[in-house]
Amino acid sequence: MKRVRVHVIVEGFVQGVFFRANTADKARSRGLGGWVRNNYDGTVEAVFEGEEGPVKDVVEWCRKGPPGARVEGVPQTGKTRRTNSMISGYATIKRSPGTFLTCLTCGGHALTRLAVFSLFLVLFINHGCSTTPEGPKYLWPAESGHPGYLIIQGAGVFEDERIRVTVRPVVPGDGTINKTIFKELLDENYVILDMTIENRSEEKIMFNPSHTSLMDNQLEYRKPINYTDLFTIVRKKEKERPPEKILTGLRGTYYDLNETVPPGKKTKKLLLFHPLSERGKSAVLKIKELYIGTDTISLIFPLRMRGADGQ
């Protein structure tokens, strides 16, 4: 059978859901070589080499991915990227300093000398020094932001003459949530933000949650949890009640589909995200293409990890 080499970039919510590991396992099980890695921009990039049939099968699998993934596109290109866009390990012939390598062919791992030293240093710091365990951390508004950005009563606020957007952290006991499932997610370090969009213009405002992302300083990238994601989460947690029944009671409480805010009105719902890195100290909430009539604006809310009291 004809042998081929295919380069793909998987777009969508494909990081933090074991997409890279599952892709490597899938390719390895089909006898393929190549590599797979996570990129800074939230995509997963891979090269598959082998017989044409198995390569096509794995590319087709990438269009769906593992449970929890939401694939928006799998464009194929003729050449790989030659940039410093890698944030997770991959296998290639030429190794980069400090890179953790994962081989699709044998499944083995290798560490460069710089990575070994870094790992030793981390282990020494973590286990050689006694530290007092810290309590849970939550994302609070950072002190500085883009023009129009303010902090008002513990919330990050962007406002001008046409719109006011308020982003407030949800912490245990603040009275924001009264649904059991949301309280459980908060206890499991899911990120929950209370966002209000107030329309001060004479045009309709359109908010699309898929144009929103959260990225921390460890380059962990998250898209908002939608109905399908929440269904998967609830199905794993609930053994007695059907997920459909639980999710019916959550309608209208979190941003899932496109939201339209008429002139002079406002909407207030929750943004839900999968947990970020435990090493994360700060993050950025980015809203792209928020429509005000036919105009679009992009908003950035800087956030910082703090305790439940904001300290």
Cα separation of 11 and 270, whole Å?
Answer: 24
Structure tokens at 123: 């282990």
Give yes or no: 37 in active site: no
- Report the run of H or E that residue 148 belongs to, with start and end: none
Phi then psi for 237, rounded to 5 degrees? -85, -35
CA distances in angstroms from 236 to 99, 242, 271, 301, listed in the order given? 34, 11, 21, 32
Beta strand pairing call for 138-141 and 295-306: antiparallel
Q: Which amino acid is at 101?
A: L
Cα separation of 229 and 167, whole Å?
Answer: 22
Are 107 and 133 contacting, i.e. CB atoms less than 8 angstroms apart? no
CB-based burial label for 81 (10 Å; 0-12, 13-18, 19+): middle
Give yes or no: 84 in active site: no
Q: Which residue is catalytic, options 28, 30, 37, 38?
A: 38
Structure tokens at 117: 């030293």
Q: Which residue is catalytic, options 20, 28, 37, 222?
A: 20
Residue the block writes with tokens 């390895």 = 28
Q: Is the dihedral of CA 137, 70, 207, 249 positive or negative?
A: negative
> Which are the catalytic amino acids?
20, 38
